[in-house]
Structure 1
Amino acid sequence: MAQSQSWWEPPQTPPSPSQKPSNLEFKPMASTELPEVKPEDSDLLTRRIHLLGTGSIGTLVAHSLRILPNPPPITILLHRPEMYDDFKAGSRIVRLVNKMTEINDEQTGYDVDVKDNHEGKIYWRHIAHNVGERRTPLNEIKEEELLPSGELYIYTLIVTVKGPSTVAALRSVKHRVDGRTTILLMQNGMGQIDELNSQVFTDPATRPTYMLGIISHGAYMQGPFAVVHAGFGSVALGIHRDTDKYPLPPTDNHINTSNLPEEDRKTMFPSDRDLYSNMSSRYLLRTLTRSTVLTCAAYPYLDLFQLQLEKLVSNCVLNPLTALLDVQNGSMLDNPPLTRVQRLLIAEISLVIRGMPELEGIPNARMRFSATRLEALFRGISQKTARNSSSMREDIRNVKYPEIDYINGYIVRRGEEQGIKCVLNYMIMQLIKAKHHYNTRSDTKSVPYGAGGVEAQELEIDKKGGPVVLEDVSRPSG
């Protein structure tokens, strides 16, 4: 696998201060750069993929994997028994409705693991898709998957739960994973991995490999295990660089890597092949990139990190402001007082991002994350998703704890590391938390659609008359 130019490779000559930026677009890794693995590889412990999270994105991924040619065995993790009751009541079917064509596609064949308490300990009870039937299960369990407890080992896991639930959710399966496992996080915001490392997977030697997925699909739930695919997008995938295993190099850009011992080179300047050393990571990446529905593309770590930051910036402005004002995304445009607020927030965020050590020495990073360019990205996303309701607005309206700690909170924490007091982002965090606190204390019912200055006819309505809520859409560049 070829090494991408996006890695921590020092430039041969320092860039001139007057040098104009070249290309600000990212390109996915070519097929020749992707790690190779065959399903029949003897080192592949199991093809089974576990899914944690049954919201719109989790359901979309579950359906998309099931319709693959030669699909992998899929096990859906259900953390409450009543969720399994809903699954049984729906004939163990996962449904996907294409909003454009109105085609309703139903898929079966899913195994489930239901969380129980056994003698005071968490126990995941495995239930095959054809439980009670006298025939060979579609997804046979390999001997290598069985743990002494009778639970199944988790080789690959896709997580789509909300940010605030991540630690608790993964703590419940900690005993089923180890260093061979790969966990893919498909979530809003950033900073969840830092919490997992400090609270769940504290030992780098036995810590699973993390992958990240940035989603630009629009989807909303129609019912239990039924999702409407309302906006087709893509998924940017990539490996996460664990800085406990691969510490960031010194800020000296004139290190001659040819003089470094191979072990030091791999540690400070890992190639794509180095970071994809885990067999389960290569298998999961290859499986997801086969999906024509998800349209996944793999990016080198630093490219993916910058794509994450670009999406985060828009979410830092769009999500809390739409939640506080209770308006659609399009209301962020053409409002001069609100534009001033947006620019102040973006200027503070830009200052923090441009000082991050991960971006030290990356060509065009200061231009990419300048306040001017970030404002243009934010306005473009606001226009593209003008009729959408942000996820944070919906969390506030439905009295769910918002993901503000992983959006603006991430900027506040990264600013503190640099000695920057992000007073504007901190204030936004507290305002969102205050609104959630007020809603939880209020005796009144949540405000229905159409209130808060939003006209009912401006909203897309599904056939049952309910509001259409799309995921935050931020299509990766390139």
Structure 2
Amino acid sequence: MGRYDPFSERPSLRRLLDDVGEQSPYEIDSIADKKHTPIGLTYSTDPRGPWAMPQEEECKRVHVLGYDPRAYFIAHELAGNLHLDPVKLLVHKKNVMRSWQLEGEQVSVWKGVQRSSQGRGRAEAEWIGRGRDEPSNEHIDQLIVTLACGVTTTALQNIIHRIDNRTTICLVQDGLGLVEHLNATLFPDPTRRPHYVLGHMSASLGYNKQWFFGAKLRQPGKLFLHAVERGVDLLPTLKFHPPVERRMNATQFLRTLVTTPGLHAGGYNLENWLIQKLPALVFSSVIEPMAVVLDTTYDNIPGNEHAIRLADELLDELFNVIMAMPELTNSSKVVEHCGLGALRKKTIKRLWEKGSSQSDMLSRVRAGQWVDIDYLNGYFIKRARELGIKVPQNEAVVDIVKARIAKRRNEMRNVIPFESDDVPNKPAF
């Protein structure tokens, strides 16, 4: 696909530049889901039950890598599951480790004014950053990652020696396309790479400004899970017959999440999972870049005529890509949840719910830090190229956001030495 037209040939975009909680879960086809992913079974430790897990499978530890409300909420709920070993938070930032000690080595969740904390043997933190005398060799069986996609690869390099084909990694992130990137960079050998589970949370969560290891639950929701097909790069004889141990490890992780009550988790086939994920991904791909382009808070976007026009153009392009995705086969269900009208309605509704708050992407751009644009708009651009669809406006906003980051970094270098754990934005695909 050729390059998009320059700014001078797109007057609406040029004029715009010159001017300048989560949705409720939708209904899904539960019958199809249960048929494709029969993991939503009642958990039982009774050895007489047909679905009782082997004793050695009950005590596996879940590791969590992330510094956001999703990480702390998930860790809090897993810590309350007495059938598991204490959940372990992986920390590679010294200031975060200090906060853990100052806050009494516990993770908390607020539901209104009510606080619930898990610690004292149910939640632990492990330093995995530089300066450790003896790096741990403890194998990681089950890992949940809520870090932004753009820094996940760098963070995993600190623990890559603890990950292999017995590991299952659950990615609960805003973007898509990271699995392919991890396989290409960290796990090129198909026989040794981990299993993956894609996660999407519909709960509305927020930070607690008084506590680093805390999350506010504004509105309950669900954790939608999809186990990525294993072995797409393997020979057919291996693809369809993975070792029993590896199948058990992946299934055990799914069952662990599904049977942890506070997570409200369920397993779904790829189509039904995408139906839940795509509206949120569309919002992040349309509204977040708009906030950066306008350099403003969410509430000022609807009042800008040029912004609304460009947002509609972005949405139209994303809709065309979604409708052409071969993973989505049930046309009536896709139109109901991901049709152009449905996407526009959900995007506007979520924008109003944001109120006068500031975009996280804008905050990071102002700080000269990376953003996940390559896994938001960039994901759709990659899929569009595969499908032969042109998405010039999405290509344009990706360039604009990256240009803003580069400009801000140059400004900061002229004032103070630039030092950050973050990596600069580079194309992920």
| Pairwise TM-score range, normalised by the shorter structure | 0.7 to 0.9
Asked whether the 8 Å contact 2:89–2:124 carries over to 1, the reply is yes
Equivalent residue letter for 1:65: L
Separation (CA, whole Å) in 1 of partners of 2:118 and 2:156:
29
Say yes or no: does 1:218 pair with 2:205.
yes
> Which of 26, 34, 52 is the aligned partner of 2:28?
26
Alpha-carbon deviation of 1:69?
A: 4.2
> Which of 222, 241, 246 is the aligned partner of 2:229?
241
Alpha-carbon deviation of 1:416?
A: 1.7
Equivalent residue letter for 1:230: R
Alpha-carbon deviation of 1:191?
A: 0.9
Are the structure 2 counterparts of residues 74 and 172 from structure 1 closer, same or farther at C-alpha, using a change threshold of 3 Å? same
Say yes or no: does 1:92 pair with 2:78.
no
Matches within 5 A, 1:308-327: 308-327=277-296
Say yes or no: does 1:208 pair with 2:194.
yes
Separation (CA, whole Å) in 2 of partners of 1:75 and 1:191:
26
Matches within 5 A, 1:280-299: 280-299=249-268
Runs of 4+ in 1 over 6 A off after TM superposition: 273-277
Alpha-carbon deviation of 1:93?
A: 1.9
Asked whether the 8 Å contact 1:116–1:122 carries over to 2, the reply is no
Matches within 5 A, 1:420-431: 420-431=389-400
Matches within 5 A, 1:13-52: 25-28=27-30, 29-30=33-34, 33-34=38-39, 40-42=53-55, 44=57, 46-52=59-65
TM-score by length of 2: 0.76
> Which of 57, 61, 66 is the aligned partner of 2:70?
57
Q: Secondary structure at the match of 1:358?
A: coil
Q: Secondary structure at the match of 1:214?
A: strand
TM-score by length of 1: 0.69
Separation (CA, whole Å) in 2 of partners of 1:155 and 1:370:
39
Alpha-carbon deviation of 1:26?
A: 1.6
Separation (CA, whole Å) in 2 of partners of 1:327 and 1:81:
32
> Which of 309, 314, 332 is the aligned partner of 1:364?
332
Equivalent residue letter for 1:48: R
> Which of 345, 351, 360 is the aligned partner of 2:314?
345
Asked whether the 8 Å contact 1:239–1:276 carries over to 2, the reply is no
**Cα displacement string for residues 443-468 of structure 1 (whole angstroms, at most 9, x for unaligned residues):** 599xxxxxxxxxxxxxxxxxxxxxxx
**Cα displacement string for residues 346-389 of structure 1 (whole angstroms, at most 9, x for unaligned residues):** 11112222222333x44337635443332222223223333543
Asked whether the 8 Å contact 1:162–1:188 carries over to 2, the reply is yes
Alpha-carbon deviation of 1:161?
A: 0.8
Alpha-carbon deviation of 1:112?
A: 3.0
**Cα displacement string for residues 73-120 of structure 1 (whole angstroms, at most 9, x for unaligned residues):** 21111113443333223221222233x2243635332233322558xx
Q: Secondary structure at the match of 1:194?
A: helix
Say yes or no: does 1:107 pair with 2:107.
no
Equivalent residue letter for 1:240: V
**Which runs of 5 or more residues in structure 1 are unaligned?**
1-23, 126-150, 248-262, 446-478
Are the structure 2 counterparts of residues 413 and 243 from structure 1 closer, same or farther at C-alpha, using a change threshold of 3 Å? farther
The alignment's C-alpha RMSD in Å is 3.4
Matches within 5 A, 1:384-395: 384-395=353-364
Q: Secondary structure at the match of 1:244?
A: coil
Matches within 5 A, 1:412-451: 412-442=381-411
Q: Secondary structure at the match of 2:275?
A: helix
Q: Secondary structure at the match of 2:221?
A: coil
> Which of 135, 153, 161 is the aligned partner of 1:124?
135
Q: Secondary structure at the match of 1:213?
A: strand
Alpha-carbon deviation of 1:202?
A: 1.3
Alpha-carbon deviation of 1:300?
A: 1.7
Q: What residue in structure 2 maps to residue 194 of structure 1?
A: 180
Q: Secondary structure at the match of 1:26?
A: coil
Q: Secondary structure at the match of 2:229?
A: coil
Alpha-carbon deviation of 1:411?
A: 1.2
Q: Percent identity?
A: 24
Asked whether the 8 Å contact 1:329–1:382 carries over to 2, the reply is yes
Separation (CA, whole Å) in 1 of partners of 2:314 and 2:244:
34
Separation (CA, whole Å) in 1 of partners of 2:129 and 2:347:
44
Are the structure 2 counterparts of residues 431 and 48 from structure 1 closer, same or farther at C-alpha, using a change threshold of 3 Å? same
Separation (CA, whole Å) in 2 of partners of 1:419 and 1:92:
52
Are the structure 2 counterparts of residues 284 and 320 from structure 1 closer, same or farther at C-alpha, using a change threshold of 3 Å? same
Separation (CA, whole Å) in 2 of partners of 1:405 and 1:294:
29
**Which runs of 5 or more residues in structure 2 are unaligned?**
1-25, 46-52, 416-429
Are the structure 2 counterparts of residues 59 and 158 from structure 1 closer, same or farther at C-alpha, using a change threshold of 3 Å? same
Say yes or no: does 1:180 pair with 2:193.
no
Q: Secondary structure at the match of 1:59?
A: helix
Alpha-carbon deviation of 1:57?
A: 1.5
Are the structure 2 counterparts of residues 188 and 123 from structure 1 closer, same or farther at C-alpha, using a change threshold of 3 Å? farther
Asked whether the 8 Å contact 1:288–1:296 carries over to 2, the reply is yes
Asked whether the 8 Å contact 1:50–1:156 carries over to 2, the reply is yes
Q: Secondary structure at the match of 1:224?
A: strand
Alpha-carbon deviation of 1:441?
A: 2.6
Q: What residue in structure 2 maps to residue 232 of structure 1?
A: 220
Asked whether the 8 Å contact 1:220–1:230 carries over to 2, the reply is no
Say yes or no: does 1:304 pair with 2:273.
yes
Are the structure 2 counterparts of residues 107 and 320 from structure 1 closer, same or farther at C-alpha, using a change threshold of 3 Å? same
Separation (CA, whole Å) in 2 of partners of 1:94 and 1:366:
38
Alpha-carbon deviation of 1:221?
A: 4.4
Alpha-carbon deviation of 1:313?
A: 1.3
